[in-house]
Amino acid sequence: MSMIYQAYQNHMDLTAPWRTGASAALRYLNLVPQGTSDRFVGRIAAALELISRSALTYTRPAYGIDSVMVGNRELAVTEEVVYSTPFGSLLRFKKEDVPGQPKMLLVAPMSGHFATLLRGTVKTLLQDHDVYITDWHNPRDIPVDYGGFGLEDYTDHLISFLTVLGPRSHMVAICQPSVSALAAAAIMCEDDHPARPATLTLMAGPIDTRIQPTKVNEFAKSKPITWFESNLINYVPVQCKGAFRQVYPGFVQLTAFVSMNLERHIKQHMDLAHHLAKGDKEKADVIKTFYDEYFAVMDLPAEFYIETVRDVFQEHLLPQGRLMHRGRPVNPAAIRRMGLMTVEGEKDDICSIGQTLAAQDLCTGVRAYRRVHHMQAGVGHYGVFSGRKWNNEIYPLLRDFVHVNS
């Protein structure tokens, strides 16, 4: 099993000329004057485009946030890397002439896609905050000389990033990293760290997956950890900078996601072919934009993936008070003088109701007037941090929570 990634990469390299050829043929086909057998040309063009798009990309897509409305002004936004390690960058979305906005660290999951999956979340937060994001690097591009990256390394990165932001900043963790975010906050409070966050917001995060387990939770517990190590961990192919690094490959993760909704994805590509053949560019672009992001995949470091499955989903170390960080216990009760907000979605089938709320019970040192919990009706997992209800109902609560605790 450990050589599947190499075999996959070899296959993609061998078939690359077909995709390159299809792209070249498509460019020439687009030069054909309109009216010349439009229906036939449209079908050929659709086929060529589908062939040219039949590959995953392991490069982070662009965030594409060039401007944002702040009040009644449209302000330019530029990206600035303010701190970096081999495994991740602290990326700031810089706005000019907006002094005094609260600094906010948006903690993106390391779960098979790039942090660009949160571009909509970023754009909303930018209206009222100085936003930074954890821009994780693809392990297949990180040489093995830089060592491994486990759950403790993730937590260390959050502490380092918050240190760069400085005192009275705010941290918002989306989904999977909620455990590390809570651990980082607890450690910083226990150490009386000057850069401990003023608020911690956990959104759809697996704090205690014993509560109303989802199918994802049940799968994680259905097999011993040795099964995950033997069947899902592969070596990065020799063609890559991170050759021989052990990872959970992005293409394996994506295969699992696609198989869960295979009929839907097949229909989407049939619709794409239909729109391309008819020349309906607007409808085709909507589908293409979605899959450009969906098929941009990131590998997971083997250590991080295995430790997350074992410590978070199988052994539930945090809610049982047994989670350790660098040899010391993680004590959520040490969190004081900090606001705590938890957000859940009514229809979340990845992180069910109650799993994130559990953080409120663990953080006994947080005063009642600094606590907020919100259960958003009518949304699933992604609706907690993206889409209409995030913008109109959840975000205003988060904005006011941060403002009150700044």
Pair (204, 130) in one structural domain:
yes
What pLDDT is stored for residue 287 in this prediction?
A: 76
What pLDDT is stored for residue 257 in this prediction?
A: 66
272 lies in some domain: yes
Pair (16, 102) in one structural domain:
no
166: Cβ contacts below 8 Å, ≥ 6 apart: 103, 194, 195
Yes or no: say if 355 and 176 are a contact pair by the CB < 8 Å rule: no
Pair (37, 172) in one structural domain:
no
Phi, psi of 18 (to 5 degrees): -65, -45
* Amino acid code (one letter) for 202: L
Angle at 60 between CA 54 and CA 62, to 5 degrees: 105
Pair (212, 329) in one structural domain:
yes
Angle at 397 between CA 392 and CA 399, to 5 degrees: 95
Domain boundary among 232, 262, 294: 294
225: Cβ contacts below 8 Å, ≥ 6 apart: 306, 309, 310, 314
88: Cβ contacts below 8 Å, ≥ 6 apart: 134, 135, 136, 137, 157
320 lies in some domain: yes
380 lies in some domain: yes
61 lies in some domain: no
Specify the number of domains making up the chain.
Answer: 2
Pair (77, 174) in one structural domain:
yes
152 lies in some domain: yes
Pair (81, 111) in one structural domain:
yes
What pLDDT is stored for residue 29 in this prediction?
A: 62
60 lies in some domain: no
Tokens of residue 129, six digits: 């905050």
What pLDDT is stored for residue 34 in this prediction?
A: 58
Q: Do the strands 371-376 and 339-345 form a parallel or antiparallel pair, or are they unpaired?
A: parallel
Q: What is the CATH number of the domain that holds 73?
A: 3.40.50.1820
What pLDDT is stored for residue 332 in this prediction?
A: 98
Beta bridge partners of 324: 329
Pair (155, 25) in one structural domain:
no
Tokens of residue 111, six digits: 């779960």
Phi, psi of 10 (to 5 degrees): -60, -45
Q: How many CA atoms lie within 13 A of 146 on its CB side?
A: 19
Q: What is the edge-to-edge ordering of all strands in the sheet holding 67-70?
A: 67-70, 73-84, 88-95, 130-136, 103-107, 170-174, 199-203, 339-345, 371-376
What pLDDT is stored for residue 42 in this prediction?
A: 66
Pair (30, 99) in one structural domain:
no
Pair (211, 120) in one structural domain:
yes
> Residue 204: which domain range?
68-218+300-404
Domain boundary among 270, 294, 318: 294
What pLDDT is stored for residue 52 in this prediction?
A: 61
Pair (105, 200) in one structural domain:
yes
Yes or no: say if 63 and 116 are a contact pair by the CB < 8 Å rule: yes
95 lies in some domain: yes
Tokens of residue 280, six digits: 């309906």
Domain boundary among 294, 325, 354: 294
Yes or no: say if 109 and 134 are a contact pair by the CB < 8 Å rule: no
Chain centre distance of CA 373:
22
For every residue of 100-119, which 3-state class applies, written as one string? CCCEEEEECCCCCECHHHHH
Pair (29, 175) in one structural domain:
no
Going from the first residue of the chain to its last (406 residues), give the mean pLDDT of each consecutive group of 10, the final group possibly shorter: 78 73 67 58 65 72 93 93 98 91 96 91 97 97 97 98 98 97 98 97 98 93 95 93 94 73 75 75 78 83 97 97 97 97 96 97 97 97 95 97 95
Pair (204, 284) in one structural domain:
no
Yes or no: say if 141 and 240 are a contact pair by the CB < 8 Å rule: yes
226 lies in some domain: no
Tokens of residue 151, six digits: 């759950």
